[in-house]
Amino acid sequence: MSDIVMVTGSTSGIGKAIAELLAKNGFRVIVTGRRKERIEELVDELKLKHNCSITGLSFDITNKDEVYDAIDSLPEEWRNIDILINNAGLASGLDPIYEGDLNDWEIMIDTNIKGLLYISRKVTKGMIERQKGQIINIGSIAGREVYPSGNVYNATKHAVDAITKAMRIDLLKYKIRVSQVAPGLVKTEFSEVRFHGDTERAEQVYQGYEPLQAIDIAEAVHFVITRPEHVNINDMLIMPTAQANSYNIDKKIEELW
């Protein structure tokens, strides 16, 4: 029987691309997210397209009780989660620290750090019992460098980097592989969320160069989880060709005549 993979934050962007690619390649996939309607639509869509084995869970990853209750509600045949992909995460706001919105700070900390910890703690219990499993945390270039007005988002992604390294040490004796895939600029809903629905400002982030697409990251994740059991990809940093680091991007803006 094929491995069971849980993908958090599956309703859009990178998470959706990962879920579809893995479903297409024969994995049994659990998609999760807050938006129940989107989860149900995604399950129906992927079943129709790929005739795959897939189920969905709707919960708020920032609420520990919802996380635990949702996973406990899985039917017996879905409970032995072999691979956890911690994709759920977001940026909210882009303000200097002295003007930061406290609500933005809290949602980033609650989602990017605490949510990842809640679900990892729950799922790794079974992996430890079976002495087998794999965790892939979706990090960011923002977890390696800081950039102007990125403050709290940078901090949360630096935390993901540290947690990934600590997980790898703590789970080593249980034969559980732990990896991080850290993208640079990827064209998804990310910037629209960051700018609180300002689609025009979000679109400007991706103009003048070719950003990564969600499928690029999905393919990297697929590569990581299909290595032989004696191989672990500790870390993978993926950038568009036009991006050197967090703030050096080669944008070619055509002049208007």
Tell me which amino acid residue 103 is: N
pLDDT score recorded for residue 157: 98
215: confidence class by pLDDT, cuts 50, 70, 90: very high
Q: Is residue 219 part of a domain?
A: yes
| pLDDT at residue 137 is higher than 70 | yes
pLDDT score recorded for residue 173: 98
Q: Out of 118, 153, 174, 209, pick the active-site residue.
A: 153
Write out the residue range of the structural domain in which residue 221 sits: 4-238
Q: Is residue 55 part of a domain?
A: yes
pLDDT score recorded for residue 1: 64
Question: Annotated catalytic, 153?
Answer: yes
For the chain, give the mean pLDDT.
Answer: 96
What pLDDT, in 10s, does the model give residues 14-35? 999 999 999 999 999 999 999 9
pLDDT score recorded for residue 252: 85
Q: Is residue 251 part of a domain?
A: no
What pLDDT, in 10s, does the model give residues 217-227? 999 999 999 99
Residues 204 and 145 sit within 8 Å (Cβ to Cβ): no
Q: Is residue 71 part of a domain?
A: yes
Please give the model's pTM, rounded to 2 decimal places: 0.96
pLDDT score recorded for residue 214: 98
Q: Which two tokens stand for residue 117?
A: 């910890």
Q: Is residue 33 part of a domain?
A: yes
Q: Is residue 213 part of a domain?
A: yes
Of the chain, the percentage scoring pLDDT greater than 90 comes to: 96
What pLDDT, in 10s, does the model give residues 30-82? 999 999 999 999 999 999 999 999 999 999 999 999 999 999 999 999 999 99
CATH number at residue 25: 3.40.50.720
pLDDT score recorded for residue 257: 35
Which single residue is written with the structure tokens 């940078």?
Answer: 154
For residue 168, the number of C-alpha atoms closer than 13 Å in the C-beta half-sphere is 16
